[in-house]
Amino acid sequence: MVTIKIQSAEDIAAAYLKQAGFDDRALERGLPRIVQLLSEKQKSGDEIIEYLDKKLLQAAEKIFPDMPDGKAAAVARVKAVYMLNDGPARWGTEIFMPDRISSEMAGALRENPFRQTPTSSFQAMKPQPIVPSAAASLFSKILHPFRKSK
CB-based contacts of 17, cutoff 8 Å, min separation 6: 26, 27, 30, 31, 34, 88, 93
One-letter amino acid at 96 equals F
Q: Is residue 145 part of a domain?
A: no
- Number of separate domains in the chain: 1
pTM: 0.66
Q: Is residue 84 part of a domain?
A: yes
What pLDDT was estimated at residue 145? Answer: 64
Q: Is residue 60 part of a domain?
A: yes
Q: Is residue 127 part of a domain?
A: no
Q: Is residue 2 part of a domain?
A: no
Q: Is residue 135 part of a domain?
A: no
pLDDT 10s digits, 37-76: 887 666 777 888 888 889 888 988 888 877 766 788 888 8
pLDDT 10s digits, 84-126: 888 888 888 888 888 888 888 888 888 876 666 666 778 888 8
Range of the domain at 40: 9-115
Q: Is residue 4 part of a domain?
A: no
